[in-house]
Homo-oligomer: A and B are copies of this chain.
């Protein structure tokens, strides 16, 4: 069989991997990888394998590894390393569910998946559903995709169904005038919205009044929105890929601009990489911590 050898130019690789053109050229200069063929016009022509390895590298860098340490490994070694870093499987209460969902995805049956998710949510309640079902499931789906067991479009279908389920649940909950009021959003370069949605779903049952602005709100507008809606807490979500530098810079700037009475929360995969303490910012590295953070806030809050 003749494999169709697709080629990518540097712009396509940037889109596919999230690594900037500058970085791709710099790695080639410094480490000798990737070293793509050139076309007639001496422009780089990356192979599918290049892109695969770059994606695997990006994934590991998103959890804190540095390029120099991993650039010489093969893609298999990179994937193995990613598997090894994954938290122990012991914590999964229902490993059977994982393989069930994966096989649903592979058989492309959206309806069954949708019903399964809805049923689980009913049985477990929203918070337990997220913590005990969705979080492990997300990891399982991500791993399966990385191992090549799951196609991209199958993963997209999963994300879409999950989003529908979560939005339905959030929407169904009565929008009461609760305390605290929480503003939920992300910084402008964030592309992933599931984290935000899960955070909102974790808070809604706690009688929190959530105001979600969706993704990519400019810094200034976060401040304006916080004032306009008179929120008590501003909560930001950062996916694993978010640049540590941009995040710390942005959070510091936000902290300076927000009134002291407003609490600032930063959550999401990225926050696990943070080493320095950030004064005036509460880090919430996992969804489970939301409830305790909420408890702490309520313990300190004095109704005006």
A188→B15 contact, CB < 8 A: yes
Given the interface contacts A164-B167, A164-B171, does A153 sit within 8 Å of B225 by beta carbon? yes
Query: Is A157 in contact with chain B by the CB < 8 A criterion?
Result: yes
Q: Residue among A153, A171, A218, A228 with the most chain B CB within 10 A?
A: A153
Given the interface contacts A108-B228, A175-B111, A229-B108, does A212 sit within 8 Å of B151 by beta carbon? no
B185→A156 contact, CB < 8 A: yes
B217→A156 contact, CB < 8 A: yes
B151→A15 contact, CB < 8 A: no
Interface flags, A168-192, vs B, CB<8A=1, else 0? 1001000100000000010011010
B153→A189 contact, CB < 8 A: no
CA distance A214 to B155 in the complex (A): 11
Query: Is A159 in contact with chain B by the CB < 8 A criterion?
Result: yes
Query: Is A152 in contact with chain B by the CB < 8 A criterion?
Result: yes
B153→A224 contact, CB < 8 A: yes
Within A138-168, the residues touching B (CB, 8 Å) are: 151-153, 156-157, 159-160, 163-164, 167-168
Query: Is A213 in contact with chain B by the CB < 8 A criterion?
Result: yes
CA distance A181 to B6 in the complex (A): 29
Query: Is A82 in contact with chain B by the CB < 8 A criterion?
Result: no
A213→B175 contact, CB < 8 A: no
8 contacts between A and B (CB under 8 A): A16-B188, A111-B175, A152-B218, A153-B224, A156-B221, A159-B214, A163-B214, A167-B168
A interface list, Cβ under 8 A from B: 6, 15-16, 108, 110-111, 114, 151-153, 156-157, 159-160, 163-164, 167-168, 171, 175, 185, 188-189, 191, 211-214, 217-218, 220-222, 224-225, 228-229
Q: Which 4 A-B pairs have the closest CB atoms?
A: A153-B225, A153-B221, A156-B213, A152-B221
